[in-house]
Amino acid sequence: MILTAMTLLPFYAVLLLLAGLGVIFYVKLWREKLQLAGPAGVFGNPDAIVAGVLAVWFVSIISQSVGATIAISVSGILASGIIYAGIVGMLITLLSVRGVSLTQAFGLKWLKWREDISWVVWAFLAVLPIVFSVQWLMSLVVMPEAQNQPLLEFWMRSPDWLPRALVAVMAVVFAPLAEEFIFRGYLYGVAKQYVGPLWAGLAASLLFAAIHVHLPAFAGLFLLALALTLVYEISGSIWAPILIHALFNGLALVLALLWPQLPS
């Protein structure tokens, strides 16, 4: 279905309305869950050093990528996956060697999942219009000629099913697992013990948004990361933000194929 500018106007009007309702949902969620149930603080000074080095390394990658043309390829996707897998493996090894319980540190046992699943699904539905409306406003007002994220462009333009399958697996399975473990579980978890949840959440969310190196999507990804952080804290389990992250990425891939005119 081809969407014209006129047919998109009612869609975006409804989107902005839903975004407002989404903001109300998250404000209410935050106010009702002031006693945050996030995983216990089990990180120590060695983790502060590792998290600091990792953050500086991410910042260096971001600074080198700003203004550069990002070419997406199968080999590049695989290399990125290997790097993220290496980071996750390194963190797990460092924590395990020191006797830190991964279950306790990241809430790997989602004990209240039956109780939480309903509001987590609502949290997913509430964050969608917020992120998509912000990305639309960015593309409309700030960057009217902005392109979609390079990975989505690769997904939409690839003529073969194998590269698309690789992108789907990376976006829906691997990226949510690796990125939530690194950004929400570790970087946010470590920083929270030193500067508190507010500043830690802002810093980790900024880094998460920036590492995607796509300015038009930066604001939307930042808000998504903040929502995922709140969900992580309230649920007390890393599985909750992983679920929302996977659903979000999967929906973004589907929308990119069905309606490529929509900014993402």
Give mean pLDDT, residues 136-140. Answer: 80
- Six-digit token string for 227: 């929502």
Any domain includes 37? no
Evaluate if residue 247 carries a pLDDT over 90.
Answer: yes
pTM above 0.85, yes or no: yes
The predicted model gives 167-186 an average pLDDT of 96
How far is 240 from 24, CA to CA, in rounded Å? 20
- Tell me the pLDDT tens digit for each residue of 81-121: 999 999 999 999 999 999 999 999 999 999 889 999 999 99
Give a yes or no: residue 107 inside a domain.
Answer: yes
**More confident site: 171 or 11:** 171
**Tally of CB atoms within 10 A around 244:** 24
Q: Is residue 100 part of a domain?
A: yes
Q: Is the distance from CB of 238 to CB of 181 less than 8 angstroms? A: yes
Structural domain harbouring 97: 12-30+43-62+70-258
38 is a domain residue = no
* Cβ atoms of residues 120 and 231 within 8 Å: yes
Q: Helix, strand, or coil here: 112?
A: coil
Yes or no: say if 263 and 139 are a contact pair by the CB < 8 Å rule: yes
**The predicted structure's pLDDT at residue 170:** 95
Residue 236 located in a structural domain: yes
Residue at 169 is within a domain? yes
Evaluate whether residue 108 is within a structural domain. yes
Residue 144 pLDDT: 53
Give the single-character DSSP code of 74. H
pLDDT of residue 40 exceeding 70: no
Number of domains present in the structure of the chain:
1
Domain membership of residue 85 (yes or no) is yes
